[in-house]
Amino acid sequence: MILLQLSMAALLGLVFLTQGRREALAAFAGAAIVALGTALLAARTFSGLGGAGLTMGRLMSGMVLKWMAILGGLVAILGQFKLPPLAAITGLVAAYAINLLAFRFKG
């Protein structure tokens, strides 16, 4: 999942390179923060053995961690670095679409 999201980030970076370096960086970063969030969720959820309650708690805290990383990254991309918002949002949505499609077409 994470590799697919990072591949989407690289692909979007190349596609947006036709519009400029800042747009390419914004698209790459937007997709990369989703991959980072997914990695944090996975690391938190699968961090050890435990019962159902403990696993559910890890899943919920991992989900909160994921969204904090995504929202914090988006604030940094748009606020601190002042990268183009359309490219950043496009990257974020495309990488999250990979997440949704992977769950739909699981083997």
Residues 12-64: pLDDT tens digits? Answer: 999 999 999 999 999 999 999 999 999 999 999 988 888 888 999 999 999 99
What pLDDT sits at residue 22? 97
Domain residue ranges of the chain, discontinuous segments joined by +: 2-104
What pLDDT sits at residue 105? 72
What confidence tens digit (pLDDT) does each residue in 84-102 have?
A: 999 999 999 999 999 888 8
Give me the helices (H) in the chain, please: 2-16, 21-45, 52-75, 85-104
User: Tokens 């944090």, residue?
Assistant: 40
User: Tokens 């748009």, residue?
Assistant: 78
Q: Report the residue count for the chain.
A: 107
* Whether the Cβ atoms of residue 37 and residue 70 lie closer than 8 Å to each other: yes
pTM over 0.75: yes
Retrieve residue 54's tokens: 């403990």
Torsion of CA 2, 89, 64, 53, to 10 degrees: -50
